[in-house]
Amino acid sequence: MLRLFFCLPLCLGSTACLASAGHNEGSTSERTPRAETEALEKSAEKAGLQIAQSRVELVRTKSNRARIEAEGALEAARSAVDEARRALVLQREKAAPLALGEAQLGVDRARGRAEDAEAELQELEAMYAEEEFAALTKELVLSRGRRSLEHALRALEFEVHKLAQLEQDTLPTKERELVRALGRAERALTTAELELTEADLDGRIDLMEAEEKLAKLQAEE
């Protein structure tokens, strides 16, 4: 009986130790998945933060590129407007007056030749009227004179027609084309200005959104 009394505390103590060990093992097995989950969450948060930082840089790069492209388009549009204006001024102040001057000179020369041919024919007719020449010779000379006058008059008519066409059709048509080209260039310039403003605003908005998202992630860390 006494022997049984001494063994009982030993058994009870062993049982308590086993129960305690089992409890500790259970707690360790419960903490391990939780620690792994926390580690994964921290890793995901770090990755998300890095992605957000990279996205900010990406948005900033795209915004800068879009602005550079828009500025290049705007500069090209301005150059096109300047060229169109120069072309119109050149047409009005130099090309058109020069063309008209040349055409008028052609008319004046043709008129002069016609007047000379008419005067020569009149002289021939007067000379052959006062003197007696062979009928064949007289007719041949006078025919040549009349033909020269006819050609000179036709040439004068042609030059006058060229001048009229130049004044009424060719030059006005050319000026209208240049005016339309200038209008197109100016509209393209306005569009390029708006596109630059749009690219600037879009870039700012996108960058603000990316930076805001990054700031939230940094605050949550």
pLDDT at 38 (0 to 100): 62
Residues 191, 73 contacting (CB under 8 angstroms): no
Task: Return the percentage of the chain with pLDDT > 70, whole number.
Answer: 77
* Rounded Cα distance, 189 and 79, in Å: 9
CB atoms closer than 10 angstroms to residue 199: 20
Poorest-pLDDT segment among 20-24, 110-114, 194-198, 216-220: 20-24
State mean pLDDT over 67-78: 96
80, two tokens: 């096109």
pLDDT per residue as tens digits for the range 40-56: 666 666 777 888 889 98
**Residue 111, pLDDT above cutoff 80:** yes
pLDDT at 11 (0 to 100): 41
pLDDT per residue as tens digits for the range 130-173: 666 667 677 788 889 899 999 999 999 999 999 999 999 999 99
Burial classification of residue 208, based on how many CB atoms lie within 10 Å of its CB (0-12 exposed, 13-18 middle, 19 or more buried): exposed
Poorest-pLDDT segment among 31-40, 145-154, 174-183, 184-193: 31-40
pLDDT at 18 (0 to 100): 39
Q: Which residues contact 166 (CB under 8 A, 6 or more apart)?
A: 99, 100, 103
**Residue 126, pLDDT above cutoff 80:** yes
**Residue 31, pLDDT above cutoff 70:** no
